[in-house]
Chain A
Amino acid sequence: MSILVKEDTRILVQGITGDFGARHARLSLDYGSQVVAGVTPGKGGQVFEHAGKKVPIFNTVAEAAKQTGATVSAIFVPPPFAADAILECFDADLDLAVAITEGIPVRDMVRAKRAMAGRRTRLIGPNCPGLVTPGRGDKSSGGCRIGIAPGYIHKRGNVGVVSRSGTLTYEAVWQLTCRGKGQSTCVGIGGDPVNGTSHLDVIKLFNDDPETEAIIMIGEIGGNAEVEAARWIKEHCKKPVAGFIAGATAPAGRRMGHAGAVIGGAEDTAAAKIKIFQECGISVAVTPSDMADALLRIWKG
């Protein structure tokens, strides 16, 4: 097992005809993921071709899902139209909408998140690298890659990784892979202040997943999502958890690249979050180079 997506998960790509969407649709196909449909309004009927594979393009998400059995969408739509693309996934009752787009207005996300309540679709992101359930082939090929993460750094195994940041996730994954430890699923939840799925949501899924034996949780300054997850872990999590918080040197009041990475109050700082991680029994990585080792100190695999 894995969480959220499996090797055979059928994926549609919103924005497959744009440069960004097309590039990553090709990389997902190369990885062996089941990209079965594209959606670009007005380009329905066209075909996206790559390496001998033909991916039909539809005008709407509902039509793409109906015709191809796609249950998950990767959203590469530009920021002004991205919330609309997310809402279209809710309307089509997909299992999962993964919004890669960076720069969506907060107001749009506030409304989209409200519209998600009571729907069956889960949103991951926005402003996220997406998620990967590694495959069992060479360099983890044959897995499910949704988004922009490099597939080859993964290895199928038993560590769940959840993070707000893309490159920091890759860093953790690569450290694990280099130490021979594979991953069940790696989830980038995104760096925006309003996102569809929180650290805690993913931790709960990992906790219930029989394949996941241990967890790495990567957070950063701003908000209290990591703290919420840490407190839940202390009370309920059956599995060893290692953690890292980025931004110990970030000045207060400045947004550090990610829209959500800003220290507003004393609780938002890296020091405050690290202290709570420690109190909750999470093995804290002292540097970003120490993420895999922090886990291996409490879990032998």
Chain B
Amino acid sequence: MNIHEYQAKELFAQFGVAVPKGVAVKSAAEFEGALAKIDTAGGIMVKSQIHAGGRGKGTFTDGFKGGVKFSPTKEKALENATAMLGNTLVTAQTGAEGRKVQTIYFTEAANLGKRPDGRDDEYYLAILLDRATSCPVIVASTEGGMEIEHVAHHTPEKIFKVHVDPAVGLQAFQARQIAFSLGFSGDLFKQCVTLVTKLYQFYWDKDCAMVEVNPLLVTKEGKLLALDAKVSFDDNALFRHPDVVALRDLNEEDAKEIEASKFGLSYIALDGNIACLVNGAGLAMSTMDIIQHFGGSPANFLDVGGGATKDQVTAAFKIILGDANVKGILVNIFGGIMDCNVIATGIIEAVKETGLKLPLVVRLEGNNVEAGKATLAASGLTIVSGDSMADAAQKIVKLVNNK
């Protein structure tokens, strides 16, 4: 689960991680009040709150440029905020449709920019799971403000990693290693050790999937601040963090994916025209792959899980048909334990209930498969049977492409 930057910074502040002071609001009527709560003398950052990255370089659908803007005065901040709120921001990560900005975050911007000694003052800090070692890893770099993948590719020597032993947690020497690796000394060194320690505590205590601070910044006054904050949480651990669940913003999620999750279905929309309905994540992924292999284009990932019920199958059909691009459906079920005849009955009822007119190819395999196929054949509906995944995929691609 992802949260907004302003929510992440509020959590950072609770854990003692230094952030610029800021206020988030959801309506234009609150702009003035918000600006009155922060020190605007040194300028204000006006930041669109959407879950996608690349906001600063994004463009709104009405042509207004930049989802994050430095505003030297209150008046300019109001003007920028007014232009952003309710507008749709398109960034490298949102896709062409963009995301509607429903929250504006004002933050104090005094003392930002290069230090008097001209030293580069932006750093990178992230904490995530290292799958190879099954341990949390802290990633730090002197190259802040850039895409970390770019840094990793071109100047890997500028990336420093510390693995945390989950048996004992982050050790003081490890926090010092990071502060040294970033070249800090004196008071900034102490600030960095504190910030890394508190950030790790946040990551661990709140079951984060990833915490990223880019950039971590030294102000002209010599304060180390998390200027940006990107946080995602482990969905499996949300049951023990009701405070985190309360931060979920459904506006940022696909309506069909939310609907699917209510039925225990795992659905992800893609941009093709052949929908698929499959049991099991691995089989669902490879069903998408085989559609593409035979010249089609998958419209979605949809895993109905290991014990699909009739209600789930019906819900799945409705969700699939909610996508106007869909021109055909491939059902691929390996009913190892499930009775294929029960699934066949579920498919028939779903087809009748939704009044399906699109081509439908069903590939059933497994337990009681002959009865399942007979049920489909006797239904009187135009359901094409596929003998193998390859056969079924070729049939649906042909039916859709010949329309």
Residues of A within 8 A of B (CB): 27, 79-80, 103-111, 113-115, 148-150, 152-153, 163-171, 174, 191, 193-194, 218, 220-225, 228, 244, 246-251, 254, 256-261, 265, 270, 286-290
Quick one: which of B313-370 are within 8 Å of A by CB? Answer: 334, 336-337, 365-367
- Do A256 and B239 touch across chains, with their CB atoms under 8 A apart? no
23 interchain pairs, CB-CB under 8 A:
A103-B236, A105-B240, A107-B166, A107-B204, A111-B167, A113-B134, A150-B336, A167-B278, A170-B334, A170-B336, A191-B281, A248-B293, A249-B288, A249-B291, A250-B301, A254-B268, A256-B268, A256-B284, A257-B301, A270-B289, A287-B286, A287-B393, A289-B389
A292–B270 CA distance with the chains assembled, in angstroms: 29
- Do B280 and A165 touch across chains, with their CB atoms under 8 A apart? yes
Contacts of A260 in B (CB 8 A): 131
- Do B293 and A257 touch across chains, with their CB atoms under 8 A apart? no
- Do A261 and B236 touch across chains, with their CB atoms under 8 A apart? no
A259 to chain B, nearest CB (A): 7
Further contacts, 11 of them, CB under 8 A, given A27-B337, A168-B283, A194-B134: A106-B129, A108-B237, A114-B135, A150-B367, A167-B334, A171-B389, A228-B132, A247-B285, A257-B303, A287-B290, A288-B283
Most B CB contacts (10 A, CB to CB) among A150, A261, A288 go to: A288
- Do A167 and B240 touch across chains, with their CB atoms under 8 A apart? no
The yes or no answer to B298 lying at the interface (CB within 8 A) is: yes
Q: A170-B334, A250-B288, A265-B149 are contacts. A286–B293 as well, Cβ < 8 Å?
A: yes
Q: A107-B237, A148-B306, A260-B131 are contacts. A247–B289 as well, Cβ < 8 Å?
A: yes
Quick one: which of B359-392 are within 8 Å of A by CB? Answer: 365-367, 388-391
Quick one: which of B248-300 are within 8 Å of A by CB? Answer: 266, 268, 270, 278-293, 298
A261–B283 CA distance with the chains assembled, in angstroms: 12
Contacts of B388 in A (CB 8 A): 289
A226–B11 CA distance with the chains assembled, in angstroms: 37
Most A CB contacts (10 A, CB to CB) among B134, B136, B366 go to: B134
- Do B129 and A194 touch across chains, with their CB atoms under 8 A apart? yes
- Do B282 and A246 touch across chains, with their CB atoms under 8 A apart? yes
A290–B278 CA distance with the chains assembled, in angstroms: 18
Residues of B within 8 A of A (CB): 129, 131-132, 134-136, 149, 165-167, 204, 207, 209, 234-237, 239-240, 266, 268, 270, 278-293, 298, 301, 303, 306, 334, 336-337, 365-367, 388-391, 393
- Do B301 and A287 touch across chains, with their CB atoms under 8 A apart? no
B338 to chain A, nearest CB (A): 9
Contacts of B136 in A (CB 8 A): 110
Q: A148-B306, A163-B282 are contacts. A110–B134 as well, Cβ < 8 Å?
A: yes
A76–B184 CA distance with the chains assembled, in angstroms: 50
Which of A106, A149, A246 sits near B286, CB closer than 8 Å?
A246
B287 to chain A, nearest CB (A): 8
- Do B282 and A218 touch across chains, with their CB atoms under 8 A apart? yes
Q: A106-B234, A168-B283, A256-B281 are contacts. A114–B289 as well, Cβ < 8 Å?
A: no
Contacts of A150 in B (CB 8 A): 336-337, 366-367
A286 to chain B, nearest CB (A): 7
- Do B366 and A79 touch across chains, with their CB atoms under 8 A apart? no
A170–B273 CA distance with the chains assembled, in angstroms: 28
Count A/B pairs, Cβ under 8 Å. 169
Contacts of B204 in A (CB 8 A): 107
- Do A288 and B389 touch across chains, with their CB atoms under 8 A apart? yes
Q: A103-B236, A107-B204, A251-B270 are contacts. A289–B290 as well, Cβ < 8 Å?
A: yes
Contacts of A288 in B (CB 8 A): 283, 286-287, 289-290, 389
A191–B236 CA distance with the chains assembled, in angstroms: 13
Contacts of B240 in A (CB 8 A): 80, 105
A288–B166 CA distance with the chains assembled, in angstroms: 38
- Do A167 and B285 touch across chains, with their CB atoms under 8 A apart? no
Which 7 residue pairs are nearest across A and B when measured between Cβ atoms? A165-B282, A257-B281, A167-B280, A150-B336, A168-B282, A105-B237, A289-B390
- Do B298 and A249 touch across chains, with their CB atoms under 8 A apart? yes
A41 to chain B, nearest CB (A): 20
A252 to chain B, nearest CB (A): 10
Contacts of B278 in A (CB 8 A): 167
- Do A193 and B131 touch across chains, with their CB atoms under 8 A apart? yes
Contacts of A220 in B (CB 8 A): 282, 285
Contacts of B207 in A (CB 8 A): 105-107
Q: A153-B336, A171-B389 are contacts. A109–B134 as well, Cβ < 8 Å?
A: yes
Most B CB contacts (10 A, CB to CB) among A107, A115, A174, A265 go to: A107
Contacts of A165 in B (CB 8 A): 280-283
A248–B284 CA distance with the chains assembled, in angstroms: 12
- Do B166 and A111 touch across chains, with their CB atoms under 8 A apart? yes
- Do B166 and A287 touch across chains, with their CB atoms under 8 A apart? no
Contacts of A167 in B (CB 8 A): 278-280, 282-283, 306, 334, 336
Contacts of B306 in A (CB 8 A): 148, 166-167
